[in-house]
Amino acid sequence: MSATDGPLLEVAGLEKTLGAQHVLRGVDFAVNRGEVLAIIGASGSGKSTLLRCLNLLIRPDNGRILWQGREVGWVQNAGKRMPARERDLLGYRTQISMVFQSFNLFPHMTALQNVMEAPVMVMKRPRDEVRAEAEALLEKVRLSHRASAYPHQMSGGEQQRVAIARALAMRPEALLFDEVTSALDPELKGEVLSVMRDLASEGMTMVSVSHEMGFVRNVADRVVFMHKGRVCEAGDPKDVLANPSTPELQAFVRSVTD
């Protein structure tokens, strides 16, 4: 399988135990370039852990993560399979960028500085070029007028849009979204979701853990339903959500539509 025609990201047999909790019990799925994949499931089903395994913020105990057909997170050392060192993962993380539920903007930096931080400091790109690009990104998330504001001066929706611009500033191949609207008031969810919709229509590859069934139904190309650390059901969101075949998904769909 060559790097261009296979899936962009593929995971197989992913397992993770956190403390006494067997959070992931063998997860398999693939994401194609340009695809929007939604991950749904009740809280505690392992969605957030799964997402953090994808960019190796958490190291899975078992299983493989293939990025453009090549395994990441493990190296062959004298015939033995060893976990890669943290510093060898940094390059990978810049290609698969993450947006968090609680925004996690750096509070001591303005919106613009937050967006410029990684390209300038991590990727060592020239500051002037990055500034122009960062301003364009803030415009894209409709926040040009807030460039010099600090996070505590912004609403949650504005902070989350800055966080999306910050993730995009690394020119990633794919974006991970971890329940990015859960911490927002209902009237602020829309502005973040519309930015995500724009990105999807531009062909950005996205993996999104989400409780927004409207987003899942209308924007996602495929949905994965997680239950107790496994993929329970997967497929086209319109089909899967309209005709859930497992009792677990039937219960979940009922609980979110009520």
Partner 1 sequence: MNWSVVTDNAGLLLEAFGTTLWVAGATIVLSVVLAFPLAVMRDGPIRSLRIVSAVFSWVMRATPALTLLFLTYFGLPQVGIYLAAVPAAIAGLTLSATGYNMEYIRAGLRAVPSTQYEAARALGMPFPMILRRVIVPQAIRTIMPPLTSNLTLVMKGSSLAGMVAVTELTGAGMALISRTYQPFEILIVIGLAYLMLNGVLIWLQHRVENWLSLPGQG
Among 32, 102, 155, 182, binds partner 1 (CB under 8 A): 102
- Mask for 52-91, x = binds partner 1 (CB under 8 A): ---x-x----------------------------xx--xx
**Strand, coil or helix: what is 244?**
coil
Q: Does 214 bind partner 1 (CB under 8 A)?
A: no
Work out how close the CB of 5 gets to partner 1 at its nearest, in angstroms, rounded to a whole number. Answer: 27
Residue 45 or 97 having the CB closest to partner 1: 97
Does 227 interact with partner 1 (rule: CB under 8 A)? no
User: Do 182 and 190 form a contact (C-beta atoms < 8 A)?
Assistant: no
115 binds partner 1 (CB under 8 A): no
Q: Does 147 bind partner 1 (CB under 8 A)?
A: no
Applying CB under 8 A, among 17, 104, 144, 155 the residue interacting with partner 1 is: 104
166 binds partner 1 (CB under 8 A): yes
Q: What is the residue-wise DSSP string for 29-53?
A: EEE-TT-EEEEE--TTSSHHHHHHH
The reply to whether 121 sits near partner 1 by the rule CB under 8 A is: yes
DSSP state of 154: S
**Which residue's CB is nearer to partner 1, number 119 or number 237?**
119
Binding status of residue 124 toward partner 1 by CB under 8 A? no
Instruction: Give the Cα separation of 151 and 146 in Å (integer).
Output: 10
Neighbours of 252 (CB within 10 A): 22
- Least distance from C-beta 100 to partner 1, angstroms? 6
Q: Residue 256 Cβ, how far from partner 1 at the closest point, in Å?
A: 26
Q: Site map for partner 1, 170-209, x if CB under 8 A?
A: x---------------------------------------
| Contacts of residue 11, Cβ cutoff 8 Å, sequence gap at least 6 | 27, 28, 29, 30, 53, 54, 63, 64, 65, 66
Q: Residue 109: helix, strand or coil by DSSP?
A: coil
What ranges make up the beta strands (E) of the chain?
9-18, 21-31, 36-40, 62-67, 70-71, 74-77, 80-83, 96-99, 174-178, 205-209, 222-227, 230-235
Helix axes 186-201, 156-168, angle to 10 degrees: 20
Between 167 and 231, CB nearer to partner 1: 167
Phi, psi of 109 (to 5 degrees): -125, 150
Q: Does 18 bind partner 1 (CB under 8 A)?
A: no
Residue 23 three-state SS: strand
- Name the residue type at position 223: V
Judged by CB under 8 A, the residue of 8, 9, 98, 232 near partner 1 is 98
Count of residues of this chain found to bind partner 1 when the rule CB under 8 A is applied = 27
- For residues 94 and 83, what is the distance between their CA atoms, to the nearest angstrom? 19
Which residues make up the interface to partner 1 (CB under 8 A)? 55, 57, 86-87, 90-91, 93-94, 97-98, 100, 102, 104-108, 117-118, 121-123, 150, 152, 166-167, 170
